[in-house]
Amino acid sequence: MHSTVEGVGTAGLFADRYRIAGLLGQGGGARVLRAVDLRLGREVALKVLHQGASEDFTRRFAAEARTLARLRHRGLVEVYDYGRADDRPYLVLELVDGPTLADALRASALSVPATVRLGRELARTLAFVHACGVVHRDVKPSNVLIDASGAPRLADFGIARSPVDADAADADATRTGFVVGTPAYLAPEQIRGEGARPAADVYALGLLLIECLTGQRVYPGGPIEAAVARLLHAPSIPDGIPARLARALRAMTRPDPAARPSAEECVELLDPGKPAPPPAGVRSGGRSELRRRLALSAGTACLLLVGGAGSVAFGASDGTEPSARLQPAAATVTIPVPPAPTTPAAEPAAAPAAVPAPAPAADRAPARPAVRTEPPQAPHDNGRKKEGKGPKPPRRGRG
């Protein structure tokens, strides 16, 4: 028996092998279902494209399968199978039976120690991904799953850029200024249409960690508003956090991608057991290059408000939100991109002074956007290296 809702409903048998047990999430291009593999007797997450999915979504879907198949890491979601049934592609994934980070942040902001532990784990995962030549391009809370042990898993490589699928990933670039990703987490260079390299993932991770501390997006609002905001001003670092963490977040969210640390360096920068390093400078390009980039960003932001030549289109990811709630498809928005200005901007202001040490606080987070602090916990090792577990909100299944 085959299910009949959109060809794949929330009950029935799919591909003569997977018994559907429920809906985990849905987006503009695909839905994710909880299922049981009848041959192997295990629960899985079944990601299936919608009927009539565009050629673009189909291409990205196949690229995601190939990318995940070659990436094996404890911080990722394992892929089990890929195929076609009922004339549509499907992907069989490890079922991570837990909430997303977005779910957790809707319940409460995270404490400083929990944020640091999560940040170091995600940085380790990104360091592995980048070492394999892959750029995720869509690091955000809804793409981070929290497994049964409390560890984060980076999911949804639907718009990742991989050398294996360079033609597929670069097809976006053939359309002038086309940008894929979630506008609230894009790096400045992506908004300028310069493409995404590993530094863009580091920038997004920095925004994600600030959001963990405050419980609020750094750049809220619509796609255009969020894009313009980050070109006009740097992210606001929360008060009351350790100086080392504040410096790390500033470094990760620098406007110049060449000045950001690598994901591997972020693991060390976020280590609370090491003394805070001196403020780092621009690693390459010099101050004149940084001034040029900031001038370009500021000029672009101003002209975006009044229009200009050329355009950048924000291409949505498949929008699959790993939760039980159904999500609408993400919008595609076009914003103008003017040429670079010819006069340099003034030298950026010096970094703020070191943030005072955090005062003791209760275990639960105070009202947003205050930051939680709690005594640090000693790392432990039970056969799998961990920094500890973050707070666990109500469980939801997802693959």
Q: What is the DSSP string of 176-236?
A: TTEEES-GGG--HHHHTT----HHHHHHHHHHHHHHHHHSS-SS-SSHHHHHHHHHHSPPP
Query: How many angstroms from the chain centroid is the CA of residue 269?
Result: 19
Say which residue the tokens 């609020």 belong to. 216
Q: Name residues whose C-beta falls within 8 Å of residue 372's C-beta, 6 or more positions apart in sequence.
A: 109, 110, 111, 112, 114, 213, 361, 363, 364, 365, 366
Distance of alpha carbon 196 from alpha carbon 5, whole angstroms = 37
CB 235 within 8 A of CB 246: no
CB 109 within 8 A of CB 214: yes
Structure tokens at 337: 């991109």
Catalytic residue among 103, 138, 156, 256: 138
Could you tell me which of 323, 388, 367 has the C-alpha nearest to residue 27?
323
CB 317 within 8 A of CB 158: yes
Could you tell me which of 57, 333, 75 has the C-alpha nearest to residue 205?
75
Distance of alpha carbon 364 from alpha carbon 271, whole angstroms = 23
CB 24 within 8 A of CB 142: no
Number of C-beta neighbours around residue 235 at 10 A? 19
Could you tell me which of 366, 322, 373 has the C-alpha nearest to residue 143?
322
Report which DSSP code applies to 368: T
Structure tokens at 319: 């929008």
* 81 is a catalytic site residue: no
Q: Which residues are catalytic?
A: 138
